[in-house]
Structure formats: C-alpha cells, structure tokens
A and B are shown apart, each in its own frame.
Chain A
Amino acid sequence: KSALTYEVIAQCSTSKARASTMTLPHGPVETPMFMPVATQASLKGLTPEQLEDLGCKICLNNTYHLGLKPGKDVLDTIGGAHKLQSWSRNILTDSGGFQMVSLLKLATITEEGVRFLSPHDGTPMLLTPEHSIELQNSIGSDIIMQLDDVVHTLTTGPRVEEAMHRSIRWLDRCIAANKNPERQNLFAIIQGGLDLDLRRTCCIEMANRNTPGIAIGGLSGGEAKEQFCEVHVFIIVSYCTDLLPRNKPIYVMGVGYAEDMLVSVALGVDLFDCVYPTRTARFGNAITAKGVLNLRNKCFATDYSPVEEDCTCPICTPKSNGGMGITRSLIHHLAAKETSGAHMLTLHNVHYQLNLMRAAREAIIRDEFPSFIKNFFATLHGGNKEKFPQWAVNALRTVNIDLLDDSR
C-alpha cells in the first residue's frame, strides 16, 4: 500500500508536459513543482512560515546532514523532521549517498554500501541501503529515496553498468527495509549514465518494483550540461519518461535552472530540486525572467527599481500592496554585509522558482504550454533567437515544440 496518489489533471496536446496532483501524507502537491532544499531543516534564513507563505508544499531535507545533526537518536525522540522544524507540509529526503560521494573524497562503494571516513573523527563508517532507509524512517519524510550507486554523469564503461545493476539490487534492499510504507513513499532512482540500453533496462526493472514514484538520477550538476553535449542529458530524460509508467510522479534530481526545468517539464517530468536559487542568493544573485542579476554590481547601487519589475514575491511587491517594496539599491547596500539581505533575495529566488512552475502548470491546463515555453525563452534572451541554447531547441523539437518557429 502506498501513501501517495497521483492524478494527471491535464496533458499538453503537443509535448509530454503534464499537470498533476500528487497527494502525500502532508497534503497535496501540484506538479510540475520545484522543491526548495532546506538542507539542515532550514531554508537559508527563512522561517517555515515564510516558506509556507511562498506557496511551498514540499521541501527537501538532506539525510546525510540530519544524520549528523541532530542525529538519529534525537530525531527518534522528537518524532521526526516535521516536528523538529515545525513544518506541517511535505518533506522529501535523499538517501545520503550522493552527498557522501560528493562531499567526502574518500568514499568508496562496495556491494554492502558506501564506505567513508567519519567527518567527526575519521573512523571508518558504512552507509548501507538499510541504514539510509532507517535514517529516513526516523526523519519521517513523506518521500524517501533509495540509496543508489552514484557514478559521475560523464563516466563510461563497465562501471556504469555495474552501478545500474547495483542500484536495482539496492532498491530491493531499500523496499525490504522501509518500515513505514503506509506513510513514507520510497522512490526508485533510474541509473545507467548516458547509455540508452542501460537506462532502458533500469527503467523496466525498476518499474517492475512498483514504487510510488521514480526519479531519474545521474544527471544533476549543471556541469554536465555545460561541458558536454547537453542534448544527451535531455535525450536520457525523454527516453526514460517514455518507458516509465504514466501514473507515477517523475522526479529529476538536482535540476533547478529555469531553462532546464521547463525543458524537462516538456519531456514529462513533474518534480525538481536544486540548491542553486538559495545558494546564489547569498552571493547577491537575483533570478529573474530576463536572466540572473548580480546585485553586488556597482551599477545597482543607485537602481531604485524592485529586484524584478512586476514580481509578486514578498520583497518586490510595493509597500502600497502589502509587500516590502525592496529596491535593488537596498539589496546592493546589504549584500554580503547583512544576512537579512540574503534572506530577502532568497525569498525572491524561491518565489521565482515556485512561480515559474505554477505558471507552467497553468499553461499546461490551458493547453498553451508550447507558447508559454517559447515566451519564456524569448524573454530570457531579449527576443534574440540566436541566443537560444541549441540543446533546448533540439530537446524541445523531440516533443514537437520548435523554439525557432513562431507559427507552431
């Protein structure tokens, strides 16, 4: 029995984009949805109330971090992460494996699990699928992720195949270990690198396990898109969404740039997460429909317009409409000197991400998603089609959207 229902509300008649409602133990989540990352049970200075007021229905906590602090014993005593952070909406946790491999240079993977040296005292430790699920059971998150064997996106050769098969075996161990299937939804993670045959095998095997939702892994980190032929990444996504069951939510992990999310939506993806919007706020960067503005730049010192014109976030909304009426000049004045400046930009950036997904959803429901995504790229690049990224043009052509053609 699963603790998740997934209902498709509308389907784009051109692309694979869909608008759905995913109902979890802590309430409904309208997809497509961006999930902000509250790594250590807090979203970079925002109160849970502020996050809720932004319309956030689900956020991420990182299992690796919560396992260290406050730790499993405390989580058990308190009664989980919802109680720890007084968050009445949904939480998704990762397995902890990805963070170990990326944060700890000395992590190695064996059939048992991920071996690593304790960041506390250097003693050897082991994270098994069972440990990961046990921790996530203590956290009490609404969506829990299987431990998978992570290889870098650009890895090739037998290691990729090994990782894919091991991830399937680990999924079985995770399913067996999950103590709370009636309130915690375990998601499988599709591996297989950039190899379509491996991805196919993985999709079929994992779909057979009938988990409440499925993630497409091994694609995160903008670096893969920037350094290599980006279209590969989206061919993989599109290939997987074709093979995966239509009645389950599909989540692409670690993807959060606006362009990437919208193209993925066109390819049939429902859920995203990324630290980028919150991390970049701390460096004075505001995400806007016209691109990213670094408000630490001197030219903003005397710019008294809102961070983004007509933005409906709490900081850009004028004081006369109940907002804070914050100017670029004030953010410039505070950037890197007062934390509340970063908190304000975080409010704006998270609003931007959530709002983008809300707008995409509405466009899908009106069946106007193709023109919506064309408008998005036109605005982002100032109407200059030559600036449209080729990977986006190519990926969208596979779902019958031609960014360069205004007629369709």
Chain B
Amino acid sequence: MASAPPSSVVPLPAFRILHSQGHTLARLGSFSPSAVSRGKSNASVIPTPNFILPTSRGTIPHITPDNARKHVAVPAVFVCLEDFVDRNALKSPIAQSNRTIRDYISLLPPLSNPAHQIPIFLSSRRSCPVPTSQPNSDNTISIVTNDGFRQLPISDYFTLVSQLKDEETVIVAPVDLPLLIPPSNGRDMTSPSKPWKHIGGNRARKMVTRNELWSVSTLKNFATQNAVIVPLLPGISVAEQGPYLDSILNVKESTRVSDGHIRRGIDGLNVLELTSPFIPESYEPVENGPASDPARDVSLTSARTVDFGKLPSGFNDVVRLNLGYQNGPHDVIAAVERGHDFVCGDWITTTTDAGIAFTFEIGGNSMTENGKKVDIGISLWEVELYAADLSALSEGCECYTCKNHHRAYVAHLLAAKEMLSWTLLQIHNIHMVNRFMSAIRDAIKHDKFVEIAADFRKKYIPQMEGVTPGGGPRVRGYQVKLAGSMTNKKLNESPFQNFSNVD
C-alpha cells in the first residue's frame, strides 16, 4: 500500500462516456478503477454497460479460483467487509493477514490476460444487505457478520479498507439508510423492485448529514489512488439532499490540499433506486411499443432537460452503479435505458441456484416459432425433458460447460443433488450474461439499442418460474436464521431452495 508520489496533475477521470444512444439515457463508456495507472497501458479498463458479480465470503459462488481464472470472465466483482469481520474488525483474520483483499481471496487474473486485475468493488455491506436490528450512528455502521449484528466503527472501516485495497479496488462509500422502516412504509433494501417512499423530516436531515460526513471522508481517504463511488440518497428529493450533493461536488472541485496531493472527487454514484433523479417519475419503459413512440421520446427529452437539471451537472459524467437486485435481463435493459452503467449481477447466481440455464440472447432473431413469447432460460430440474438431451445448455454457446458437457449431465447432477451442477450452470450463466452485455454495448455503439431492447421485450417472458420473484438478497445458508428473525417473509422463495443447500 505504497502511497502515490505527490502529483501536480489531476488524475484522469475513471469514467469516460464514449457514445450515447439518442432515444434513451443508455450510454457506452469505459471505466478504469486505478487512479494511479489510469491512462497507462497496464490499467484495467472495463467497458460499460456491464455487471458486477457479488461474491459470497469473497468467492464467486460455486466457482473455485482456478475455474474462475480459466472459464469465467467476470468483468468485476463486489466484495463486502461484513463477510470478513467479526467482533473486533481490526483483529479479524483478514485484518491480521497483511494481505490485500485480492490476495486473501485469491482473485486471479484471467488466464487469457494475465496482466489484467479484475476490479473489486469493495463495500462495507453486501449488495443487497440483510436489514440490521440496530440503526447506524455517525461513527458506526451497523453490519451483519458471521456471528450476528455488529457496529463497525467508521474509523475501523477506513483503516481496514486502506489495508485491503489495491490499485484496482473501487471504494464504495458506506450508505446510511433507514433500514428499519418496513417495506410498506418506505423501502428496505431487500425489496428493491418498489421505489422508496418519500423519507421526510428528521430522518431525511440525518441521512443527508451522515452521508455527507461519510462520503466526504471516504473521498478524502481514498480518492487520490482509487475510484470512489458515493451514494445518491433514495427517498429524498434532489433539493432536499442539496447540501450533501454540494459537499461531494466540492471535494471533487477542490484542487490542491494540505498534503500536496491533488484530489479529484467522486468517480461514481451508487444509485439506490430505479426511479432515480436521472429520469422523470412519469417515465416508464414502453413494454411493447414501437421504438419511435413519439410520446416516449417526449418524456425522455423532458427527462434530460428537467431532471438532469435537478442534479448538478458535475454528476453527469460519473459512472452510475445500480446495486439493486435485477430480476433478470429485462430489468438490466431497463437499467441501461435509465442511464445506469453497472448493474448488480446477483440475479445470475440466483438463477444458477434455481437450476436454470440461460438461453436468451439480444440482438438476434426477434421472432419466435409461433409468435409466442419464450422463456429466458430452461429449468434443468425438468429431468424428464432433458435426461437424454445431449445438446449444449444454450445452442451455440461457447462456454466451458457447453463445449464440454450437455443438458443431460447438468439435469442428472441436479437430480442427484451434486454440487457440480451449480458450478457448471454458473460458468454458463455468467458467460451468457457477458454475451448479453456485450451485445447491448455493441447496439448502443451502433445506435441500435432501442430496437434490440424492443425486440427483446417482444420475444421473452420477463420472469422465469423458479427464480425468486421480486428478488431480494441471496441468503446463504448461514445467514438464514439471522435474516429470518428480521423479516417474516422467506427471503429465498425458490422452490428448489432445500436442494441448493445440499452439499
């Protein structure tokens, strides 16, 4: 963790917009996490729109690091500290390891490109965190660890992050959210499909000051060397969070500071709701409408003039993260339309856990055989359908699973509750989503995104049976009890849950 030499040059921005699609807010960009090597040949650059795959306890679920390096090209991973700390964060094994988080979890560069370090989005909490029983305070973040709820001192959090990060680590600033408000009364982060209700009065003011405090310190601590992502506060109007937005912009625009380093400010916004200030509240993606729907164009035009006006223009060119749970490719398309650059890939693992292999593609033939919509995947639990099916999980797929195995094997492994089923599915599903994101980027580049999005909606049924409707956090076995005590609803409602917990 050598500190960078004082520099008189403001580092290049982490995010560059390469192309915007005319009719939506979709944009093609490139993101380069390291403030130190940005612009140099050894810097990691991720094309956007893209996805970030949440890890569980630091691993890509079901995948060992050798398979990850060989067969899984994840664009970026999401790692949370609450998966690693216990009672005393600074005494936890990872803190004592004297290693970076990358080294500790053995996140290896892809074999195809050994010089590329996969970016790590490092956060205090999971992407879809389990609600905590205690509120945050100015000096502590409430987290869920392996042995229960804990208050992580903000100072410990900063110490840990500076110890664990490396150049290609993206720092996701902690977020103060009213997690205790039940979904009916606002929104907890476990049901991200509904927008937040307006948060008012004292709670809103507290959120604004606390996030200001946290985001500004995160920027001051890390922005010299790392890309920093700060939250846009949900449930609060842009006007109400004005002081917060001003502060983080001021950090961005401040020049030389006392230690001689030039800082630049935020590199990205963590957008915590779908109805973000980028777009008007009236905006709804047109389900089956023609791409050139004039009404729609009008609403989007007004989105730009009105709602972007609400956010200071300094925020237009930063990368936008949508860490909410996506309910499949339809949600991803909607997020891209709304101008989000990174989406959370938790839905890939949820689909894998449900025994489903993706078969969807975008930008190909939009017609189906009988004109009826088709599913985005196949459920390999239906062993009577696939028991002797020697075809690839998805026709023409080039992933390790499809090149070497077939539906019959994965269906057999699922029926036999063999863990390899999920490994093979996860390799395939990640590959399919990579292909999907790549096709989306290609379409934006060639101004075809609106068309292929409309074709996609015409062709595919949005929801796959067997995948948790409405999303929600992926609760791993050891968390179920904890999560269950907080909410009455089952967090994983997949009918296959009892099988996926078998080992």
Contacts and interface: CB of A to CB of B under 8 A. Distances in A.
B22 interface: no
A339 to B, nearest CB: 5
A77 B388 CA distance: 7
B242 to A, nearest CB: 43
Interface string A7-48: 000000000000000000000000000000000111111111
B396 to A, nearest CB: 18
A155 to B, nearest CB: 32
A117 interface: no
Interface stretch (B96-104, B133-141, B255-263, B357-365): B96-104
Interface string B88-116: 00000110111100011110100000000
A325 B383 CA distance: 38
Given A86-B405, A338-B476, A333 B420 contact: no
A42 B418 contact: yes
B423 A47 contact: yes
Interface stretch (A94-102, A189-197, A340-348): A340-348
A69 B415 contact: yes
Name, among B65, B405, B408, B415, the residue most crowded by chain A CB atoms within 10 Å (CB to CB).
Answer: B65
Given A70-B408, A84-B409, A65 B476 contact: no
B57 interface: yes
B62 A302 contact: no
Contact of A41 (B60, B61, B94, B412): B412
Given A47-B424, A69-B416, A339-B62, A74 B106 contact: no
A42 B58 contact: no
Contacts of B400: 47, 49
Contacts of A47: 67, 400, 404, 420, 423-424
Nearest to A75: B388
B424 to A, nearest CB: 7
Name, among B56, B63, B420, B503, the residue most crowded by chain A CB atoms within 10 Å (CB to CB).
Answer: B420
A44 B58 CA distance: 21
A344 B64 contact: yes
Interface string A363-380: 000000000000000000
Given A40-B416, A74-B387, A86-B405, A338 B106 contact: no
Contacts of B418: 40-42, 44-45
Contacts, number: 135
A87 to B, nearest CB: 10
A329 B106 contact: no
A77 B98 CA distance: 55
Interface string B138-175: 00000000100000000000000000000000000000
B136 to A, nearest CB: 26
B424 A340 contact: no
Contact of A330 (B105, B388, B408, B503): B105
Contacts of B387: 70-71, 74
A86 B503 CA distance: 22
B376 to A, nearest CB: 25
B384 to A, nearest CB: 10
A86 B96 CA distance: 43
A306 to B, nearest CB: 11
B106 to A, nearest CB: 5
**Interface residue SS majority, chain A:** helix
Contacts of B84: 333
A334 B84 CA distance: 10
A218 interface: no
Contact of B59 (A83, A341, A347): A341
A74 B103 CA distance: 45
Name, among B61, B97, B476, the residue most crowded by chain A CB atoms within 10 Å (CB to CB).
Answer: B97
A334 B59 contact: yes
A337 interface: yes
A301 B409 contact: no
B66 interface: yes
B503 A282 contact: yes
B413 interface: yes
Contacts of B65: 324, 326, 344
A86 B57 contact: no
Contacts of A324: 64-66, 106, 108
Contacts of A41: 409, 412-413, 416, 418
B188 to A, nearest CB: 24
Interface in A311-355: 314-315, 319, 324-327, 329-330, 332-334, 336-344, 347
Contact of A319 (B108, B146, B422): B108
Contacts of B103: 319, 325
Interface string B45-82: 00000000000111111111111000000000000000
A220 B60 CA distance: 38
A340 B99 contact: no
A108 interface: no
Contacts of A46: 420
Contact of B56 (A40, A48, A338, A347): A338
A400 interface: no
Interface string A66-89: 000111001001100001111000
A327 B98 CA distance: 13
B388 A302 contact: no
Contacts of A83: 390
Contacts of B108: 319, 324
A334 to B, nearest CB: 6
A41 B415 CA distance: 12
A329 B388 CA distance: 42
Contacts of B106: 319, 324-326, 330
Contact of B412 (A45, A70, A319, A338): A70
A69 B412 contact: yes
B477 interface: yes
A330 B104 contact: yes
B97 to A, nearest CB: 6
B419 interface: yes
A304 B97 contact: yes
Contacts of B56: 338
Contact of B58 (A45, A333, A339): A333
A45 B423 contact: yes
Contacts of B146: 337
Given A42-B418, A65-B416, A70-B412, A329 B64 contact: no
A47 B405 CA distance: 10
Contacts of A297: none
Given A319-B108, A324-B66, 19 more contacts: A40-B413, A45-B62, A45-B420, A47-B400, A47-B420, A50-B66, A70-B387, A74-B408, A86-B406, A282-B503, A304-B98, A304-B99, A314-B66, A324-B65, A324-B106, A325-B103, A330-B105, A336-B478, A343-B423
27 contacts: A40-B413, A41-B412, A42-B413, A45-B420, A47-B400, A47-B404, A47-B420, A69-B416, A70-B387, A70-B408, A70-B415, A74-B388, A83-B390, A84-B408, A86-B405, A86-B409, A324-B108, A326-B106, A329-B97, A337-B477, A338-B56, A339-B62, A340-B61, A340-B63, A342-B503, A343-B419, A347-B64
Q: Which 5 A/B pairs are nearest by Cβ-Cβ distance?
A: A45-B419, A40-B416, A77-B388, A42-B420, A42-B418
